[in-house]
Chains A and B, each alone.
Chain A
Protein backbone atom coordinates (compact mmCIF):
# COMPACT_ATOMS: atom_id res chain seq x y z
CA UNK A 1 0.00 0.00 0.00
CA UNK A 2 2.11 2.86 -1.13
CA UNK A 3 1.88 6.03 -3.10
CA UNK A 4 3.62 4.43 -6.06
CA UNK A 5 0.70 2.29 -7.22
CA UNK A 6 -0.19 3.80 -10.55
CA UNK A 7 -3.72 3.64 -11.87
CA UNK A 8 -4.29 2.45 -15.43
CA UNK A 9 -7.81 3.87 -15.49
CA UNK A 10 -9.94 6.18 -13.38
CA UNK A 11 -13.60 6.49 -12.55
CA UNK A 12 -15.15 9.29 -10.56
CA UNK A 13 -18.29 7.86 -8.99
CA UNK A 14 -19.21 10.79 -6.77
CA UNK A 15 -22.94 11.37 -6.95
CA UNK A 16 -23.55 7.93 -8.52
CA UNK A 17 -26.05 5.83 -6.58
CA UNK A 18 -25.85 2.18 -5.52
CA UNK A 19 -25.73 -0.20 -7.25
CA UNK A 20 -24.96 1.76 -10.44
CA UNK A 21 -21.58 2.78 -9.00
CA UNK A 22 -20.65 -0.88 -8.59
CA UNK A 23 -21.94 -1.81 -12.04
CA UNK A 24 -19.85 0.96 -13.59
CA UNK A 25 -16.81 -0.25 -11.63
CA UNK A 26 -17.41 -3.80 -12.80
CA UNK A 27 -17.77 -2.77 -16.46
CA UNK A 28 -14.63 -0.65 -16.29
CA UNK A 29 -12.70 -3.53 -14.70
CA UNK A 30 -13.81 -5.81 -17.52
CA UNK A 31 -12.03 -3.53 -19.95
CA UNK A 32 -8.74 -3.93 -18.06
CA UNK A 33 -6.28 -6.82 -18.02
CA UNK A 34 -5.56 -8.86 -14.90
CA UNK A 35 -3.10 -7.03 -12.68
CA UNK A 36 -4.02 -3.58 -13.97
CA UNK A 37 -5.27 -1.00 -11.51
CA UNK A 38 -8.48 1.02 -11.56
CA UNK A 39 -8.86 4.07 -9.36
CA UNK A 40 -12.37 4.97 -8.27
CA UNK A 41 -13.74 7.81 -6.19
CA UNK A 42 -16.68 6.93 -3.95
CA UNK A 43 -18.90 9.01 -1.72
CA UNK A 44 -19.01 8.30 2.02
CA UNK A 45 -22.13 6.65 3.36
CA UNK A 46 -23.90 4.01 1.32
CA UNK A 47 -21.42 3.77 -1.58
CA UNK A 48 -18.46 3.12 0.72
CA UNK A 49 -20.57 0.63 2.69
CA UNK A 50 -21.47 -1.40 -0.37
CA UNK A 51 -18.96 -1.09 -3.20
CA UNK A 52 -15.76 -2.33 -1.50
CA UNK A 53 -17.40 -5.54 -0.30
CA UNK A 54 -18.86 -6.20 -3.75
CA UNK A 55 -15.42 -5.66 -5.31
CA UNK A 56 -13.97 -8.17 -2.84
CA UNK A 57 -16.79 -10.64 -3.60
CA UNK A 58 -15.82 -10.47 -7.28
CA UNK A 59 -12.30 -11.50 -6.33
CA UNK A 60 -10.48 -8.23 -7.00
CA UNK A 61 -8.07 -6.66 -4.52
CA UNK A 62 -8.33 -3.19 -3.07
CA UNK A 63 -4.69 -2.16 -2.93
CA UNK A 64 -5.02 1.39 -1.69
CA UNK A 65 -7.59 3.50 0.12
CA UNK A 66 -7.40 7.22 0.78
CA UNK A 67 -9.97 9.16 2.69
CA UNK A 68 -10.51 12.68 1.46
CA UNK A 69 -13.08 15.20 2.49
CA UNK A 70 -16.45 13.41 2.20
CA UNK A 71 -15.23 10.78 -0.22
CA UNK A 72 -12.82 7.88 -0.67
CA UNK A 73 -10.24 7.18 -3.36
CA UNK A 74 -9.78 3.44 -3.92
CA UNK A 75 -7.27 1.61 -6.10
CA UNK A 76 -8.46 -1.78 -7.30
CA UNK A 77 -6.22 -4.41 -8.81
CA UNK A 78 -8.07 -6.60 -11.29
CA UNK A 79 -7.90 -10.33 -10.54
Chain B
Protein backbone atom coordinates (compact mmCIF):
# COMPACT_ATOMS: atom_id res chain seq x y z
CA UNK B 1 0.00 0.00 0.00
CA UNK B 2 1.42 3.34 -0.98
CA UNK B 3 1.00 5.43 2.11
CA UNK B 4 1.27 8.64 0.14
CA UNK B 5 -1.94 8.12 -1.78
CA UNK B 6 -4.56 10.39 -0.31
CA UNK B 7 -7.51 8.62 1.23
CA UNK B 8 -10.77 10.54 1.40
CA UNK B 9 -12.97 8.00 3.17
CA UNK B 10 -14.64 8.97 6.40
CA UNK B 11 -14.98 5.68 8.19
CA UNK B 12 -12.63 2.89 9.05
CA UNK B 13 -12.83 -0.61 10.56
CA UNK B 14 -11.36 -0.43 13.98
CA UNK B 15 -10.57 -3.01 16.59
CA UNK B 16 -10.21 -0.75 19.56
CA UNK B 17 -10.54 -3.08 22.52
CA UNK B 18 -9.16 -6.21 20.89
CA UNK B 19 -12.50 -7.97 20.45
CA UNK B 20 -15.17 -5.83 18.80
CA UNK B 21 -14.72 -4.97 15.16
CA UNK B 22 -16.79 -2.03 14.06
CA UNK B 23 -16.90 0.89 11.74
CA UNK B 24 -15.74 4.01 13.46
CA UNK B 25 -16.32 7.51 12.26
CA UNK B 26 -13.14 9.54 11.97
CA UNK B 27 -14.80 12.37 13.84
CA UNK B 28 -15.36 10.06 16.80
CA UNK B 29 -11.70 9.14 16.74
CA UNK B 30 -10.76 12.78 16.93
CA UNK B 31 -12.48 13.03 20.30
CA UNK B 32 -9.96 10.49 21.47
CA UNK B 33 -6.96 12.32 20.06
CA UNK B 34 -6.51 10.21 16.92
CA UNK B 35 -6.39 12.52 13.92
CA UNK B 36 -6.76 11.13 10.45
CA UNK B 37 -3.90 11.85 8.11
CA UNK B 38 -4.05 12.25 4.34
CA UNK B 39 -2.58 8.81 4.01
CA UNK B 40 -4.87 5.77 4.04
CA UNK B 41 -5.13 4.01 7.41
CA UNK B 42 -2.66 6.37 9.02
CA UNK B 43 -3.34 8.64 11.95
CA UNK B 44 -1.63 11.17 14.16
CA UNK B 45 -1.76 10.25 17.84
CA UNK B 46 -1.80 13.39 19.99
CA UNK B 47 -0.53 13.01 23.54
CA UNK B 48 -1.67 14.96 26.56
CA UNK B 49 1.13 17.15 27.85
CA UNK B 50 -0.47 19.86 30.03
CA UNK B 51 1.71 22.96 30.06
CA UNK B 52 4.08 21.23 27.62
CA UNK B 53 5.93 19.55 30.45
CA UNK B 54 7.11 15.96 30.54
CA UNK B 55 9.54 14.05 32.70
CA UNK B 56 12.73 12.98 30.95
CA UNK B 57 11.90 9.38 31.82
CA UNK B 58 8.55 9.64 30.07
CA UNK B 59 10.17 11.37 27.12
CA UNK B 60 12.55 8.42 26.74
CA UNK B 61 9.68 5.93 26.93
CA UNK B 62 7.49 7.96 24.56
CA UNK B 63 10.43 8.08 22.14
CA UNK B 64 10.62 4.29 22.18
CA UNK B 65 6.88 3.99 21.58
CA UNK B 66 7.02 6.57 18.77
CA UNK B 67 9.96 4.80 17.23
CA UNK B 68 8.03 1.53 17.27
CA UNK B 69 4.67 2.81 15.98
CA UNK B 70 5.41 5.77 13.72
CA UNK B 71 5.88 4.24 10.28
CA UNK B 72 7.99 7.22 9.25
CA UNK B 73 9.75 7.54 12.60
CA UNK B 74 8.69 11.11 13.23
CA UNK B 75 6.94 13.15 15.91
CA UNK B 76 5.61 16.70 15.79
CA UNK B 77 5.46 19.27 18.58
CA UNK B 78 1.92 20.59 18.30
CA UNK B 79 1.05 24.27 18.53
CA UNK B 80 -0.43 23.59 21.93
CA UNK B 81 2.66 22.03 23.45
CA UNK B 82 1.68 18.40 23.08
CA UNK B 83 3.68 15.73 21.37
CA UNK B 84 2.13 14.06 18.33
CA UNK B 85 3.24 10.69 17.03
CA UNK B 86 2.76 10.72 13.26
CA UNK B 87 2.04 7.91 10.78
CA UNK B 88 0.42 5.45 13.17
CA UNK B 89 -1.68 2.68 11.64
CA UNK B 90 -5.16 2.54 13.20
CA UNK B 91 -4.76 -1.18 13.80
CA UNK B 92 -2.19 -0.34 16.44
CA UNK B 93 -4.44 2.01 18.44
CA UNK B 94 -5.22 -0.33 21.30
CA UNK B 95 -1.58 -1.36 21.62
CA UNK B 96 -0.24 2.18 21.58
CA UNK B 97 -2.81 3.38 24.12
CA UNK B 98 -1.91 0.47 26.38
CA UNK B 99 1.82 1.19 26.13
CA UNK B 100 1.30 4.88 26.81
CA UNK B 101 -0.90 4.05 29.80
CA UNK B 102 1.93 1.96 31.28
CA UNK B 103 3.96 5.15 31.71
CA UNK B 104 0.96 7.22 32.78
CA UNK B 105 0.64 9.05 29.46
CA UNK B 106 -2.75 9.70 27.98
CA UNK B 107 -4.00 10.57 24.54
CA UNK B 108 -5.38 14.10 24.08
CA UNK B 109 -8.50 15.15 22.21
CA UNK B 110 -9.87 17.43 19.57
CA UNK B 111 -13.38 18.70 18.89
CA UNK B 112 -15.89 20.72 20.94
CA UNK B 113 -14.54 20.34 24.44
CA UNK B 114 -12.07 21.71 26.95
CA UNK B 115 -8.61 21.07 25.54
CA UNK B 116 -5.31 20.38 27.21
CA UNK B 117 -4.24 23.66 28.83
CA UNK B 118 -1.04 25.38 27.76
CA UNK B 119 1.33 27.24 30.06
CA UNK B 120 4.69 28.95 30.25
CA UNK B 121 7.31 27.96 32.83
CA UNK B 122 5.72 30.15 35.50
CA UNK B 123 7.09 31.08 38.90
CA UNK B 124 8.74 27.70 39.50
CA UNK B 125 11.85 28.56 37.51
CA UNK B 126 11.22 31.62 35.34
CA UNK B 127 12.58 34.81 36.97
CA UNK B 128 9.65 36.89 35.67
CA UNK B 129 7.03 34.33 36.65
CA UNK B 130 4.43 35.44 39.18
CA UNK B 131 2.05 32.48 39.22
CA UNK B 132 2.38 28.70 39.30
CA UNK B 133 1.22 28.23 35.73
CA UNK B 134 2.42 24.64 35.53
CA UNK B 135 0.58 23.57 38.67
CA UNK B 136 -2.58 25.29 37.46
CA UNK B 137 -2.30 23.67 34.02
CA UNK B 138 -2.08 20.25 35.70
CA UNK B 139 -5.12 21.08 37.82
CA UNK B 140 -7.17 22.15 34.78
CA UNK B 141 -6.11 19.05 32.89
CA UNK B 142 -7.25 16.82 35.74
CA UNK B 143 -10.47 18.66 36.51
CA UNK B 144 -11.75 20.01 33.22
CA UNK B 145 -10.08 18.19 30.33
CA UNK B 146 -12.66 16.86 27.88
CA UNK B 147 -15.64 18.76 29.32
CA UNK B 148 -18.05 19.05 26.37
CA UNK B 149 -18.71 22.60 25.14
CA UNK B 150 -20.32 24.21 22.08
CA UNK B 151 -17.01 24.44 20.27
CA UNK B 152 -13.37 23.97 21.16
CA UNK B 153 -12.43 25.62 24.43
CA UNK B 154 -8.82 26.58 24.93
CA UNK B 155 -7.31 27.68 28.21
CA UNK B 156 -3.82 28.99 28.83
CA UNK B 157 -1.74 30.30 31.70
CA UNK B 158 0.90 33.00 31.41
CA UNK B 159 2.97 33.70 34.49
CA UNK B 160 3.49 37.42 33.85
CA UNK B 161 2.49 40.30 31.55
CA UNK B 162 4.99 39.17 28.89
CA UNK B 163 2.16 36.75 28.19
CA UNK B 164 4.20 34.07 26.40
CA UNK B 165 1.19 31.75 26.54
CA UNK B 166 -0.84 34.29 24.58
CA UNK B 167 -3.86 34.62 26.84
CA UNK B 168 -5.27 37.20 24.42
CA UNK B 169 -5.81 34.40 21.88
CA UNK B 170 -7.56 31.99 24.24
CA UNK B 171 -11.19 31.23 24.88
CA UNK B 172 -10.20 31.71 28.51
CA UNK B 173 -6.80 33.00 29.52
CA UNK B 174 -5.15 33.55 32.90
CA UNK B 175 -2.23 35.94 33.07
CA UNK B 176 -0.18 36.47 36.22
CA UNK B 177 -0.08 39.92 37.84
CA UNK B 178 1.28 41.41 41.04
CA UNK B 179 -0.01 44.51 42.79
CA UNK B 180 2.96 46.59 44.00
CA UNK B 181 2.86 48.66 47.20
CA UNK B 182 5.49 51.11 48.30
CA UNK B 183 6.70 51.64 51.85
CA UNK B 184 8.09 55.13 52.28
CA UNK B 185 10.24 54.78 55.44
CA UNK B 186 12.45 52.03 53.97
CA UNK B 187 12.93 53.87 50.65
CA UNK B 188 16.26 55.58 50.14
CA UNK B 189 15.26 57.37 46.95
CA UNK B 190 17.82 55.48 44.86
CA UNK B 191 15.60 55.79 41.73
CA UNK B 192 16.28 52.24 40.52
CA UNK B 193 12.52 51.49 40.38
CA UNK B 194 11.88 54.39 38.05
CA UNK B 195 14.76 53.24 35.82
CA UNK B 196 13.48 49.67 35.82
CA UNK B 197 9.82 50.41 35.07
CA UNK B 198 9.28 50.02 31.34
CA UNK B 199 5.74 51.40 31.48
CA UNK B 200 6.34 54.93 32.77
CA UNK B 201 4.34 54.04 35.83
CA UNK B 202 7.06 55.20 38.24
CA UNK B 203 8.60 58.62 38.10
CA UNK B 204 11.42 59.61 40.45
CA UNK B 205 10.76 62.73 42.45
CA UNK B 206 13.37 65.24 41.20
CA UNK B 207 14.23 66.30 44.77
CA UNK B 208 14.04 63.13 46.85
CA UNK B 209 14.41 60.43 44.17
CA UNK B 210 11.41 58.70 45.72
CA UNK B 211 8.83 57.13 43.42
CA UNK B 212 5.69 58.82 42.19
CA UNK B 213 3.43 55.92 41.22
CA UNK B 214 1.09 56.34 38.26
CA UNK B 215 -1.10 53.30 38.57
CA UNK B 216 -2.95 53.99 35.31
CA UNK B 217 0.25 53.02 33.45
CA UNK B 218 1.07 49.97 35.61
CA UNK B 219 0.70 46.55 34.00
CA UNK B 220 1.53 44.77 37.29
CA UNK B 221 4.68 42.97 36.15
CA UNK B 222 6.59 43.35 39.42
CA UNK B 223 9.85 44.65 37.92
CA UNK B 224 9.92 47.36 40.62
CA UNK B 225 9.53 44.79 43.39
CA UNK B 226 12.34 42.61 42.04
CA UNK B 227 14.72 45.52 41.48
CA UNK B 228 14.22 47.48 44.71
CA UNK B 229 17.42 47.14 46.78
CA UNK B 230 15.72 47.86 50.11
CA UNK B 231 12.49 45.92 49.75
CA UNK B 232 10.40 49.11 49.76
CA UNK B 233 8.28 47.79 46.92
CA UNK B 234 6.46 44.63 47.94
CA UNK B 235 3.62 42.51 46.60
CA UNK B 236 0.26 43.44 48.06
CA UNK B 237 -1.38 40.56 46.23
CA UNK B 238 -0.66 38.22 43.36
CA UNK B 239 -3.29 36.85 41.03
CA UNK B 240 -4.57 36.58 37.50
CA UNK B 241 -6.01 38.82 34.84
CA UNK B 242 -8.94 36.90 33.35
CA UNK B 243 -9.23 37.23 29.57
CA UNK B 244 -12.21 35.89 27.72
CA UNK B 245 -13.31 35.34 24.15
CA UNK B 246 -10.11 35.08 22.14
CA UNK B 247 -9.43 32.72 19.29
CA UNK B 248 -7.16 32.15 16.36
CA UNK B 249 -8.07 30.53 13.07
CA UNK B 250 -9.80 32.02 10.06
CA UNK B 251 -11.41 34.82 11.99
CA UNK B 252 -9.24 35.72 14.94
CA UNK B 253 -10.67 37.49 17.95
CA UNK B 254 -8.90 39.15 20.82
CA UNK B 255 -9.68 38.07 24.35
CA UNK B 256 -10.52 40.98 26.63
CA UNK B 257 -9.77 41.35 30.33
CA UNK B 258 -12.84 40.98 32.50
CA UNK B 259 -11.30 40.79 35.98
CA UNK B 260 -7.97 41.42 37.66
CA UNK B 261 -6.09 39.96 40.64
CA UNK B 262 -8.23 36.85 40.82
CA UNK B 263 -6.44 34.59 43.33
CA UNK B 264 -5.22 31.07 42.50
CA UNK B 265 -7.90 29.36 44.54
CA UNK B 266 -10.65 30.99 42.47
CA UNK B 267 -9.29 29.71 39.14
CA UNK B 268 -11.36 26.49 39.13
CA UNK B 269 -14.49 28.50 39.92
CA UNK B 270 -13.77 30.95 37.09
CA UNK B 271 -13.48 28.06 34.63
CA UNK B 272 -16.53 26.25 35.95
CA UNK B 273 -18.75 29.33 35.88
CA UNK B 274 -17.46 30.52 32.51
CA UNK B 275 -18.29 27.15 30.96
CA UNK B 276 -21.67 27.27 32.69
CA UNK B 277 -22.37 30.69 31.11
CA UNK B 278 -21.10 29.50 27.72
CA UNK B 279 -23.28 26.40 27.75
CA UNK B 280 -26.33 28.44 28.73
CA UNK B 281 -25.79 31.27 26.23
CA UNK B 282 -23.82 29.83 23.34
CA UNK B 283 -25.03 27.77 20.44
CA UNK B 284 -23.54 24.64 18.95
CA UNK B 285 -20.49 25.43 16.85
CA UNK B 286 -20.01 28.92 18.29
CA UNK B 287 -16.82 29.87 20.06
CA UNK B 288 -17.27 31.73 23.33
CA UNK B 289 -15.71 34.82 21.74
CA UNK B 290 -18.65 35.08 19.35
CA UNK B 291 -21.14 34.25 22.09
CA UNK B 292 -19.90 37.02 24.36
CA UNK B 293 -19.93 39.54 21.53
CA UNK B 294 -23.44 38.46 20.52
CA UNK B 295 -24.97 38.20 23.99
CA UNK B 296 -22.93 41.00 25.55
CA UNK B 297 -20.26 41.33 28.22
CA UNK B 298 -22.80 42.49 30.80
CA UNK B 299 -24.48 39.11 30.82
CA UNK B 300 -21.14 37.38 31.42
CA UNK B 301 -20.13 39.90 34.10
CA UNK B 302 -23.45 39.41 35.85
CA UNK B 303 -22.97 35.64 35.87
CA UNK B 304 -19.41 35.98 37.22
CA UNK B 305 -20.17 38.74 39.72
CA UNK B 306 -19.58 36.80 42.92
CA UNK B 307 -16.46 35.06 41.64
CA UNK B 308 -14.95 38.27 40.31
CA UNK B 309 -15.48 39.99 43.66
CA UNK B 310 -12.42 38.07 44.85
CA UNK B 311 -10.33 40.38 42.64
CA UNK B 312 -10.59 43.85 41.16
CA UNK B 313 -12.87 44.91 38.35
CA UNK B 314 -11.51 45.46 34.84
CA UNK B 315 -13.60 45.92 31.76
CA UNK B 316 -12.10 45.81 28.33
CA UNK B 317 -14.27 45.48 25.30
CA UNK B 318 -14.33 46.51 21.70
Tally B residues with Cβ within 8 Å of A: 14
| Cβ contact of A44, chosen from B127, B190, B195, cutoff 8 A | B195
Q: Is the CB of B188 within 8 A of A65?
A: yes
Contact: B190 with A67, CB < 8 Å?
yes
| Contact A65-B229, Cβ < 8 Å, known A1-B188, A57-B127 | yes
Number of interface residues of A (CB under 8 A): 17
A residues within 8 A CB of B195?
Answer: 44-45, 48-49, 72
Kindly report which residue of chain B lies nearest to residue A63, judged by CB atoms: B229
CB of A56 within 8 A of CB of B196, answer no
Contact B223 A49 (CB under 8 A): yes
Is the C-beta of B16 less than 8 angstroms from some C-beta in chain A? Answer: no
B-side interface mostly = loop
B227's contact among A52, A66, A67, by CB below 8 Å, is which? A52
Q: B38 at interface (Cβ–Cβ under 8 A)?
A: no
Within B152-173, the residues touching A (CB, 8 Å) are none
Name A residues whose Cβ lies closer than 8 Å to a Cβ of B: 1, 44-45, 48-49, 52-53, 56-57, 61-63, 65-67, 72, 74
Between A and B, 11 residue pairs with Cβ closer than 8 Å are A44-B195, A48-B195, A48-B196, A48-B227, A49-B198, A52-B192, A52-B227, A52-B229, A53-B227, A65-B188, A65-B229
3 A-B pairs with the lowest CB-CB distances in the bound complex, closest first: A62-B229, A65-B190, A53-B226
